[in-house]
Chain A
Amino acid sequence: MSLPFLLEIGAEEIPDWMIPGALESLGERFRGLGVPHAALRLDATPRRLVLRADGLAERQADAEERILGPAKTAPAKAVEGFARKQGVRLEDLRVESTPRGDYYTCIRKVEGRRTRDILAEALPGVIRGIDFPKTMYWTGKNGPRFIRPIRWIVALLGDQVVPFELAGVHSGAVTAGHRRLGAAAVPVSISDYERKLRENFVILSAEERRKKIEEGIRALRVTLKRDPALLETLVYLTECPTPILGEFDEQFLALPEEVRITVMRHHQKYFSAEGRHFVAVMNTNADPEGLVRRGNERVLRARFNDARFFWETDQKKKLSDRVPDLGHVTFQEKLGSYLEKTERVVELVRQLGGGEAALRAAWLAKCDLTTELVKEFTELQGVVGGLYARAQGEPEAVWQAIYDHYQPVSMEDSIPRNIAGQLVSIADRLDTLRGCFRVGLIPTGSRDPLALRRAAQGIVKIVVEGRHRLALQDLLGGDQQLAGFLEDRVRFYFREVRGFRYDEVNAAMAAGWNDLVDLEERLLRIQKIRPTPDFEPLAASFKRVKNILRQAEFRGGPALDNRLLETGPERELYEEMQRIAGLPIESVITSLRPKVDLFFDKVLVNAPDEKLRLNRLTLLHNLLAEFSTIADFSEIVTNS
C-alpha cells in the first residue's frame, strides 16, 4: 500500500533569509534516508518547515541475509549450535566455499521494516541535521540545537502519527494557526492539512504568499520600484501577508531621496512608491480601522525626523573641515587611519593622471565616515559624502566622484559615472589591495573578509569599461602575489562577465595584460576571426610551431640567413612573412595559412644539417613572434 507522508516542524519565528536553505537541507536529509517515495514537496512559513511526500510503502521490501556459520571442519556440536541459534533445521544449512575454505551458511529472511518505525527512528536526526548558519540551544546546556525553539511537530504517515520525541516535543497530528488570527491548536490529517492551515490564516505556499503580496500591491494602484530581494524577505516574514498603502508628509521630500529610500527599505522593510507613498506588508489579513497604516506612518515620520536631525547636524561642519578627523578613524589596524589612506589615495590618483576634480574628490572621499548620517546608515557611505559635497558647493565632477566611488559593488553594478570617480575608485581599491597584501591579509579559498576579490574585480571593470589606458601591473607596488591575484580577476572578468571563451582569454592574456583596454581589443579581434575557416588550422600550426621550438629548446638565436632558405615552400613562407610584416592578422590569415601548411607538408625542420636546422627554427621563431603580439595562438583549443 502506498502512503503519503507529512512532516511539519513548528518553530518560533525562523529568520526569513535562512528558510530557503533550511528547506533544501531538510529535503536532502530526508532523501538521504533512502526511504523510497514519489513526489516530494517542501514548504515553509516563518513558523514551520514542511515536507510532504507521496508513495511511501507501508513496509520496506523483504530481504535475504546470508549468515556465515562455522567452518565445514568444525565439530558437529558447533554446527548444531549455529543452526539452533539461527532457528533453522540442520538440513537447511548449506556449505559454501569461500576464499578461506568451506563454511556452513544459512539464509535468513529479513522482513522489511515498517516505514513508520524507520521514520520514527530517523526523523529526529533528520530534523537536527538541518543546516542553519547559526543555531541556539533552549532546553538547557548540552540540549539540542536548532535555529529557534521547536514548539510542535506534526508527523503523519497515512493517517497514523509517526511517533518520536525531540527536545521534549512529541510528534503528533496537531498544528498551529496564525498567531493572532488562527487557533493555537489545529488537528490535521494529511488530506486537510493545507486547507486547515488556510482556514487558520496561514498560507503555506511561498509562491502563493508572493502572489498575494504582488496582487495586493497592484490593487493599491501605486507604482513601485521593483525590489525582488525585499519581496523575498516579506514572503518569508509573514504567514498571511497583506500590503497596505502609507503616506509621508511633504516636508520630508527635502531629505535626499537616497536617505528616504534607505530608511524605508532597509530599516522599515517598506517598498518605496512614487511621490510620498510607501507600501508596508502586514502579517495579518486587514487593517479596517487604518490603525496599522497610521502606526507605520508614525514610525516613518520619527525615522525621517531622526535622519533630518543628522542631515542638519552634519551640515554644520564641512566635509573639507573633516579631513583631519579621519586621523581618528581606523582603516585597518595594521594599515593606519583613514587620513593616511586618504593621503595615499590622493598620491595614487595623481600617478593615474587624475586632474583637479579627481584629486579633490580623493581628498574628500572618506570624510563622510565622520558624519552622523553615515554612522546611522553605513550602507550610504560615499553617497552621503557626495550629497554633502553637492550641498556645500563642490563642483559636479567632484561630488559625483565622491558619490560613486564605492561603485561598482557587484559585476552588475555600473562604474562611476565620471572619470574623476573612476580614478578615485581605482586608486582607493588599489591602495586597499596593496596594503592588505603587504601586511599579509590575503584571501584564501572562500575566506575573503575584506572583500578584496570584489575590490580587484571592480578595478578591472572600471579600467576596461572606462577605457583607461593604464599600465596596471606597474601600479601594484611590485607585489608578485598581488599581480597573480589580479590576473585571476582579469581572467574571471573576461570569461564570466564578458563571456569570452576561456582559450581565447588564455591566448590573449599570454600576450600580456598590462593594458586591459588593449587586451579587450585583442580579444574582440580574436573573437571575430575565430569563425573564419583559416583561423583554427593556423592556430593548430602555431601550436605545432611552439612544440617544435620547445622540443628543440630554441629560444631565438642568430638572425635569419635567407641564403640558407630552400627554394619552394620554405622560401615562399619567408617571402610571405616579409610581405605581411606589420599588417593586421585579419588581412593576412587567408594567404598565410596555405604557406604554413605547405611548409609543414614539405619541409623537414629538423634537417640533418645543423645550420639548416637552426635557420628553420629561427624562421618559425620569427613567425611566432610576429603574431604573438595580439595573442599566443597556440593556446587556442582546436578540433584538429
Chain B
Amino acid sequence: MDSFQDIIFKLKKYWAERDCIIQEPYDVEVGAGTMTPETFLRVLGPRPYRVAYVQPSRRPADGRYGENPNRLYKHSQLQVILKPPPDDVIEQYLQSLEAIGIDLRKHDIKFEEDNWESPTLGAWGIGWQVMLDGLEITQFTYFQQCGGIDLDLVPAELTYGLERLTAFLQMRESVYDIAWSPSATYADVRFQDELQYSVYNFEMADVQALWTLFGIHEAEAARLLAAYPKAPDRKRFPLLPAYDQVLKCSNLFNTLDSRGAISVTERQGVIQRVRKLAVGVARAWVDQQNGQFEEAAQ
C-alpha cells in the first residue's frame, strides 16, 4: 500500500517525466494552489510553462478542530499547470491516476461540469470536477482569464486533492487514519495543526489586530503598485514581493471571515479590495514580462 508521501512522489515523478518543472510549495499562506505565483503569474503572457507542485492550502472556515474525518483547515493540493495543454491532456491525466495504482477499468470515472471562479483573483475557467466512484478527486480547469486578463495560451490546471485520493487508495474512513509514511499517520503529522488553527481562527484570533494587519499589507501592495509605472527601471521592479502582500491580505480576509468578523454586506467590498490589488499585480506583471513599458499599468 502506498503511503501519502509515496503517492506524492509518484505523481511528481509522473509529471516530471512529462516535462514539468517540479516546484516546492510556495512559502506564503494561500487558500489554493492557484494563488501561488507559479500559477497566478505564470499563466499570464505567451510563454509556455509546465509545472507541478504540492501546495498546502489553508481554508480557515473549513477547520473542524481535527474532529471531522473529511474536512481540514489545511489540506494538500497537487497543482499541475500545462501551458499550453497537449491535445490528449485528459488521457495524460487519467494515466496519472493509473500511475498511482488506480485501475480505471475497475472504477467509475465521470467528468461533471464545474466551472471555477475566483472573484478575489479576477480569474475564471471552464472545466470539470473529476469524480472517481462518486468522489471528487480533481478539479480540471481550462483557465480563460486571470487577473481580469484574457490568457494568450489557455493553460490546463489540474488540482488533485491528495488527502482524498490517498484515503480512497488506502480505503480509510478518516483522513487522520491515512498513512503519511510507513510509520506515521496523518494525525501524527497534522492533528495539532488542525486543532490549534481551529481554536485560533474560530475563537482567539484578534479581529482588530487582523484588520490592522490587513490594512498594512494592503497599503504596502498598493504603494508598490502605484510606484511601478513611474519606476525608472521596471525590469527590476519588485512585483513578486508586491504579490506576496496581496496573498497576505487574502489569507487575513479568510481568517477574519471564519472568525465571523465580516458581515455579508462588507464581504463584497473586501473582496473587491483584494481583487483590485491582484488585478493590479497581474497587469503590471504582463507589462514587465513583455518589456513593453509604454502603457502604464494601473
Question: A330 contacts B264, CB within 8 Å?
Answer: yes
Kindly state whether residue B190 has any CB partner on chain A within 8 Å.
no
- Contact of B168 with A by CB under 8 A: yes
- Whether the pair A134, B115 counts as a contact (CB closer than 8 A) is yes
State how many angstroms separate the Cβ of A280 from the closest Cβ of chain B. Answer: 6
A563 to chain B: closest CB distance in Å?
Answer: 75
Complex CA–CA separation, A328 to B264 (angstroms): 6
- A414 CB, min distance to chain B CBs, angstroms: 31
Q: Which residues of chain B are within 8 angstroms of A299 by Cβ–Cβ distance?
A: 133-135
Contacting residues of chain B (107-134) with chain A, CB-CB under 8 angstroms: 107-113, 115, 125-126, 128, 132-134
In the complex, 16 of the A-B residue pairs with CB atoms within 8 angstroms, ordered by the A residue number, are: A13-B111, A136-B144, A137-B154, A141-B151, A141-B153, A143-B154, A179-B94, A179-B109, A237-B112, A283-B108, A295-B132, A302-B69, A302-B173, A309-B68, A328-B265, A337-B265
Closest Cβ–Cβ distance, residue A229 to chain B (whole Å): 15
The answer to the question of B106 belonging to the interface, with a C-beta cut-off of 8 Å to chain A, is yes
Residues of chain B within 8 A of A148, CB atoms compared: 126
Min CB gap B290→A, angstroms: 14
A136 and B126 contact, Cβ closer than 8 Å, known pairs A283-B108, A328-B263: yes
Cross-chain contact A151 with B87 (CB below 8 angstroms): yes
> Number of contact residues on B: which range applies?
35 or more
Q: Are A296 and B133 in contact (CB under 8 A)?
A: yes
**A149 CB contacts on chain B under 8 angstroms:** 87, 142
Q: Which residues of B contact A180 (CB under 8 A)?
A: 94, 104-105, 109
Q: Are A309 and B134 in contact (CB under 8 A)?
A: no
Decide if A292 touches B264 in the complex (CB within 8 Å).
no
Residues in chain A near residue B142, CB distance under 8 A: 136, 138, 149
B90 adjacent to chain A (CB < 8 Å): yes
Q: Given the complex of chains A and B, what is the CA–CA distance between A77 and B270 in angstroms?
A: 81
Is A392 engaged at the interface, CB distance under 8 Å to the other chain?
no
How far apart are the CA atoms of A149 and B153 in the complex, in Å? 14
Q: Which residues of B approach A to under 8 Å, CB–CB?
A: 64, 67-71, 84-85, 87, 90-91, 94, 104-113, 115, 125-126, 128, 132-135, 142, 144, 150-154, 168, 171, 173, 263-265
CB-CB under 8 A from B115, the residues of chain A are 134
> Is the pair B107, A298 in contact by a Cβ cutoff of 8 Å?
no
Does A442 touch B at the CB level, under 8 Å?
Answer: no
* Max count, chain A CB within 10 A of own CB: residue among B90, B91, B111, B142: B111
Q: What separation, in Å, do the CA atoms of A428 and B112 have in the docked complex? A: 36
Q: Which residues in chain A, 69-83, are within 8 Å of chain B measured between CB atoms?
A: none
- Are A305 and B134 neighbours in the complex by a CB distance under 8 Å? no
Hey, what's the 0/1 contact readout for A554-580 against B, CB within 8 Å counting as 1?
000000000000000000000000000
Total contacts A to B, CB within 8 angstroms? 112
Residues on A lying within 8 angstroms of B by beta carbon are 12-13, 15-17, 46, 134, 136-141, 143, 148-149, 151, 179-181, 184, 237-238, 268-270, 280, 282-284, 287-289, 291-292, 294-296, 298-302, 305-306, 309, 328-330, 333, 337
Q: Find out whether the CB atom of B265 lies under 8 angstroms from the CB atom of A330.
A: yes
Which 6 pairs from chain A and chain B are nearest by CB?
A: A295-B133, A15-B113, A13-B111, A282-B108, A296-B134, A136-B126
> In the assembled complex, which residues on chain A have CB atoms less than 8 Å from the CB atom of B70?
302, 305-306
Contacts of B91 in A (CB 8 A): 184
The minimal Cβ–Cβ distance linking A205 to chain B, given in whole angstroms, is 20
Say which residue of B126, B144, B173 sits within 8 Å of A301 (CB atoms): B173
- Cβ-closest chain B residue relative to A47: B111
Max chain A Cβ within 10 angstroms of own Cβ: one of B67, B105, B125: B105
Query: With A268-B134, A299-B134 known to touch, is A305 a contact of B69 (CB < 8 Å)?
Result: yes
Query: Are A141's CB and B264's CB within 8 A?
Result: no
Residues of chain A lying within 8 A (CB to CB) of residue B134: 268, 270, 280, 295-296, 299-300
CB contacts (< 8 Å) of A300 on chain B: these are 134
Shortest CB-to-CB span from A241 to chain B, Å, is 10
A270→B154 CA distance, assembly (Å): 34
B168 touches A295 (CB 8 A): yes
Report the minimal beta-carbon distance from A286 to chain B, rounded to whole angstroms. 9
Question: What is the bound-complex CA distance between A312 and B73, given in angstroms?
Answer: 20
Report B-chain residues with C-beta under 8 Å of the C-beta of A330: 263-265
Report the nearest A residue to B144, measured CB to CB.
Answer: A136
Could you list 16 further interchain pairs (A-B, Cβ under 8 angstroms) beyond the known A237-B110, A299-B133? Answer: A13-B128, A46-B111, A136-B144, A137-B144, A140-B84, A180-B105, A283-B110, A284-B109, A287-B106, A291-B107, A296-B133, A299-B135, A305-B68, A305-B70, A309-B67, A309-B68
